[in-house]
Structure 1
Amino acid sequence: MAPNGEAYVANPSAPEGFSRFASSRISPAGPHRTIYLAGTACVRPSDGTWPGVKENADGSLVLDVRVQTAAVLENIDSLIKGATGGKGCVQNLIDAVVYIVDMDRDYAGMNEEWNKVFPTRAVAPARATIGVKQLPDPRMLVEVKAVAVVEF
């Protein structure tokens, strides 16, 4: 194990050039393990599909922040479950940073989907939402970086 914990990669068969970072890192020791999740988008690691992204015949994109946000949270859930052997899930998040490309247009839709997964403050992680000029891929409207704690 590396000094900064154990790496978990959602699709270990993907070429190294596709992703040179771990999907998450699990802290080195203790009964409660901290999992640091890299920025996660809506793209499915298993098959490369992009929920919330449709391409028109002319090549223009139609993007849906609600569908993307739901997919991001589902991907985070899968990452935590995979990294913990099913012992944790998205409900184990303690902190999150949401990066969003257009706050005026997309914040409300992102927040509605977020609130479906975390319906009360009592169960929601601490969260910051940051407007950014762009994300690594033009299909991305939202990306979430998060931290979870899971009892092993």
Structure 2
Amino acid sequence: MFPNGKSFLLDPEKRAGPTRYSHARVVEPAMHHTIYVSGIAAVASDGTYEGVVENPDGSFTVDVRHQTAAILHRIDSIIQGASNGKANLYNIVDSTVYILDMKTQYADMNKEWNKIWTDRASAPSRATIGVNELPDPRFAVEIKATAIFEA
């Protein structure tokens, strides 16, 4: 059993394709704590925007892979801090990814996601939603998550 419960796959023998996520996570009715992580974007604690290159003319370019990696790292730190080191990214049961451009950014976001969860059996359930905008124009991705850990 994984720290985020048991994976449920509708067609476990079917090839997973490029995306790794469980269709559902089943958490046994044991004593556990739940951590609800707010939507996290790629802003460092010093206020700088990770994965963003500011151009002299005021425009900017966004590196979706860099932003996704930074967000997942930040979520890991949040979960570890909130659990006093008892949990990490692998305790995530459910997540929602908000992304600006599914056609051009989804594959890069997914590559970073798949670096963390290398198989469907350990990956959390996930919804990826294309949105028109995020709170800052320099954000291409925002992720929220729910994690569990034993009491």
TM-score by length of 1: 0.78
User: In 2, distance between residues paired with 1:151 and 1:43?
Assistant: 30
Per-residue deviation at 1:49?
Answer: 2.2
Runs of 4+ aligned structure 1 residues displaced above 2 Å come to none
Percent identical among aligned pairs is 57
Residue aligning to 1:100: 99
Higher relative contact order (CA 8 A, sep 6+): 2
User: In 1, distance between residues paired with 2:49 and 2:138?
Assistant: 8
Structure 2 unaligned segments of length 5 or more: list them: 1-29
Per-residue deviation at 1:132?
Answer: 0.2
Residue aligning to 1:151: 150
User: In 1, distance between residues paired with 2:43 and 2:89?
Assistant: 17
TM-score by length of 2: 0.78
> How well do the aligned residues superpose, as a CA RMSD in angstroms?
1.1
Counting only pairs closer than 5 Å after superposition, residues 55-134 of structure 1 correspond to structure 2 as 55-134=54-133
Residue aligning to 2:5: none
> What amino acid maps onto 1:141 in structure 2?
A
User: In 1, distance between residues paired with 2:124 and 2:42?
Assistant: 19
| 3-state SS of 2:33 partner | strand
Per-residue deviation at 1:48?
Answer: 1.8
User: In 2, distance between residues paired with 1:113 and 1:128?
Assistant: 16
Structure 1 unaligned segments of length 5 or more: list them: 1-29
